[in-house]
A and B are shown apart, each in its own frame.
Chain A
Amino acid sequence: MAELKLPELAEGVNEAVVSFWHFKEGDVIKEGDEIVEMATDKAAFNVPCKISGILRKILVQEGDTVKVGQALAIIE
């Protein structure tokens, strides 16, 4: 089991907002799949998954503000 975390963005940028999930709980994820779109005040970007597995649990919902390093989902 592994946590998908919000990666470091840039110096001085500590958080981003969840735009939407490209997958739902129970979906099979392949390494490199972009699974969630996030946005800051300047950029919208996708967070890719570094491992293959099943998206077990989504921990943050669309519209939530997430800190760098915070877990977004659990991949099993």
Chain B
Amino acid sequence: MKENLYNYILGIADNCLILGQRLGELCGHGPSLETDIGCTNIALDLLGQVRSYYQYAAQVEGAGKTEDDIAMLRPERGYFNTLLVEQPNTDFAYIMARQFLFDAYHYMFLQELKNSKDETLAAIANKSIKEVSYHLRFSTDWIIRLGDGTEESHERMQAAVNSLWTYTDELFHQTEADKVMISQGVGVETANLKEAYYGKVSEVLEKATLSVPESKYFQKGGKQGIHTEHMGYLLADMQYMQRAYPNMEW
């Protein structure tokens, strides 16, 4: 029971941690000052949310671990984020497409998590959704601006959406822990969100004069700890300090 709750919390939180890390990589490297600050602000929100989740997970596990241990000291197979959020930063269209495809899901997910029977998860969801509504507005704006922009920006945004589409279905995939938590009224029944998600995404893509990919070939694995080749590099970068200098603090 406790193990299921623990794994369920990590399944939510790891998406925030890994996407936060990806966005943090852009600090000082964004295409313009405003987008650089925008992306790092979103990273900061996500890392803030992660702290609440990991503090709670540590408490649920009761093994004396801290939020930092959970964030920094797991091996690759121990992270349960979806494949979507670990995809690398290539061009800005790709970064915004990844953000939008996640934000649209994240917003709907939190909307439901607010009603969780678990008071702590409901409290975190209530707090986080206010921030995520800003993320969604930001990424939606960029999908439209780039999709309905120049020939070049349109082409790049379409290529990004086509390439990331294969990772969208996994957002709704349910692990054994998810199923148990859903049956207890703690977890979110993601199956009910799927139609609304693809509806919302299609609506924005159409507004951006982009075509909605028709591919039905989807990748999954992240939620079981089986990641794409990019994850190891991300973790090597993220965990370096804690591995090299155990227990270091700022």
Partners in one complex: no
Partner-A contacts on B (CB < 8 A): none
Partner-B contacts on A (CB < 8 A): none
